[in-house]
Structure 1
Amino acid sequence: MSRSLPLLLNTDAIEAWPAALLRARGNADARLLARARWVLRRKRDGRYLAAIFDHGVHSLIPHLPQEPGAAEALDALSWLNPQRGSGPLEQRLLSPQGLHERLQQLGLDADAYAANTGLALEAEPVLLHFAGRDRFGRPLWLRRGAAQAWRRMRLQAAREGIALDAISGYRSHDYQLGIFERKLARGQRVAEILKVNAAPGFSEHHSGMALDIGTPGDPPAEASFEETAAFAWLQEHAAWHGFRMSYPRGNPHGIVHEPWHWRWCGS
């Protein structure tokens, strides 16, 4: 495993991040991250669980062996080595079975939601590639083809005097579930939340193939993006790079027009 390997390894409960891309949360973390290759990060709340070194594992929580998903994540890391490479993992997707159960706990029927909206359940990929950083300095994760296409498209735009930046890329089911759980805890009902948030599992961001695009000086994920030179450039050139706008006006899913949201469909 290379220290600079720009990959995120995804399992049901835990992500393995390259340590060099994570921000330290204190002096002790900083010293560990400076030497570690990988960090196990709990998807549900972002907590760092363990630092992975060439010589072993340093637990950052009590009772790491009892942490749900820890053994699975450590085992998955064994597939990322110079002999095997990342090839065997590129097309793997996580099973959505656990998601169905958690949606039921929230009072959401996944099959009914899919039938009503025409949206597909998006499985999470096992492997994601570092595609640079977003506007807020966070690592941007996408599937390999989407990451390569985004880099090429952004470079072409820059050469033509157009600045594109990413607002967000891959987001996990857990991230979306967290939004729902926090809003429910504040007293909102599921029907209210669904007016502004896609049901967990049904956002294209889960696939690692979609990203929200902006341009410096324009607020993120706002209708005003449609009036920018960057949007005009995307309309003319994005398809050549394999990107399409997912939610134009009058889309069949009933989703508000999102000129900033583009999905890579291959090129």
Structure 2
Amino acid sequence: MQPLDWHLINTQGLEAVPARLLRARANAHARTLAQAQWLVRRKRDGRFLGAIAQGRLRPLSPALWREPGLGELLDALGAAPERAGLAPSLPLEGLRERLHQLGLDASYGDTTGLALVAEPARLEFAGRDRYRRPLWLLAPAARAWRRMQAAAVTEGVVLQAISGYRSHDYQLGIFERKLARGLTLADILAVNAAPGYSEHHGGCTMDISTPGEPAAEESFETTPAFAWLCRRAGDFGFVMSYPRGNPHGIVYEPWHWRWHAGPRDAGAAVNPASA
């Protein structure tokens, strides 16, 4: 296995997470976990299924060997770093069927002006978010975020990441949970992009806050951090996606910022305009 251990390796149904950043909680497997370089996680429910230690795959669940896509993930882990960049995005197969089950079809994209966003096959560790979770972004977006965060500190402003990359499965879970609570599809779409259409899927988008401010609230616009972003975020390639009156019909989100390729990063991003 190549030591791509500051990256998340992503496939359709599974992902490999560097064990040094995120440990599965399973006391029965403590020794295996202590030696692991990678943890294999199912995206649909976040369950850890296996650990890779000393080049060997060790099961944490009997379901591991029956898991669809396991071979694909192992192939991706075995690819050399330069080869890993040859297939930068995952295919969108299967997503449209799942959208149809939610009651959504292509007319959603036509109405909102939003495009389907493919997931990257590889994401870079960009630090940790407010909740101490690993933050994953495309490599150039991660570099831009670290530069912007450091620049803000020199001016007395602290920027906190709330979230970055989210998988299609994660977004589908949001919809399924809200539907189970009795919300209508229209209610959910007023505040959440449909699965596959969220900018967060592309690894170029972040929700940003500052200490003492609740996450993802409109009150963020009254903070010095928001004022700083309005002045300086463009210097680092970040733009606010959903201002008031945006053409997509999404509520005003002063916390939601998307990175797009600047002159220093031209050619390094994977279709950032649609991410």
- Bin the TM-score by the shorter chain: over 0.9
Superposed displacement of residue 3, structure 1: 5.9
Instruction: Report the alpha carbon displacement of residue 242 of structure 1 after superposing the two structures with TM.
Output: 0.4
TM-score, structure 1 length as denominator? 0.93
Corresponding letter in the other structure for 1:218: E
Counterpart AA for 1:88:
A
CA contact (8 A) 1:169 1:212 kept: yes
Compute the displacement of 1:238 (Å).
Answer: 0.5
Match of 2:88 in 1: 92
- Bigger Cα displacement from structure 2, 205-214 vs 24-33: 24-33
Deviation at 1:2, TM superposition (A): 6.4
**Which position in structure 2 is the counterpart of 1:23?**
23
Gap change, CA 1:227 and 1:114, over 3 Å in 2: same
Q: CA deviation at 1:55?
A: 3.7
CA spacing shift, 1:63–1:172, aligned 2, 3 Å: closer
1:111-260 equivalences under 5 Å are: 111-260=106-255
What SS class does the counterpart of residue 40 from structure 1 fall into?
strand
Contact map agreement 2:49 2:63 (CA 8 A) in 1:
no
Aligned-residue offset at 1:266: 1.5
Q: Secondary structure at the match of 2:20?
A: helix
The offset of 1:193, in angstroms, is 2.0
Question: SS in structure 2 opposite 1:21?
Answer: coil
Match of 1:161, SS state, is coil
The RMSD of aligned alpha carbons is: 1.6
Match of 2:61 in 1: 61
1:159 to partner: Cα distance: 1.1
Query: For the structure 1 residues 35 and 14, does the alpha-carbon distance in structure 2 shift closer, same or farther, using more than 3 Å as the test?
Result: same
| Cα distance in structure 1, aligned partners of 2:32 and 2:192 | 37
Distance 1:4 1:117, change over 3 A: closer
Letter in 2 for 1:77: L
Question: In the superposition, relative to structure 1, how do residues 210 and 187 fare at CA in structure 2: closer, same or farther (>3 Å)?
Answer: same
Q: What secondary structure, in the 3-state scheme, does the structure 1 residue paired with 2:250 have?
A: coil
Deviation readout 1:188-227 (Å, 9 max, x if unpaired):
3322321222100111000000000100011111111101
- Aligned residue for 1:75, secondary structure, equals helix
When residues 90 and 152 of structure 1 are mapped into structure 2, their CA distance, relative to the original with a 3 A threshold, is farther
Does structure 1 retain, via aligned residues, the 8 Å contact 2:2–2:78? no
In structure 1, C-alpha distance between the alignment counterparts of 2:130 and 2:183, rounded to whole Å: 30
Structure 2 unaligned blocks of 5 or more:
263-275
Secondary structure at the aligned position of 1:95 is classed as coil
Check the 8 A contact 1:90/1:127 in 2, yes or no: no
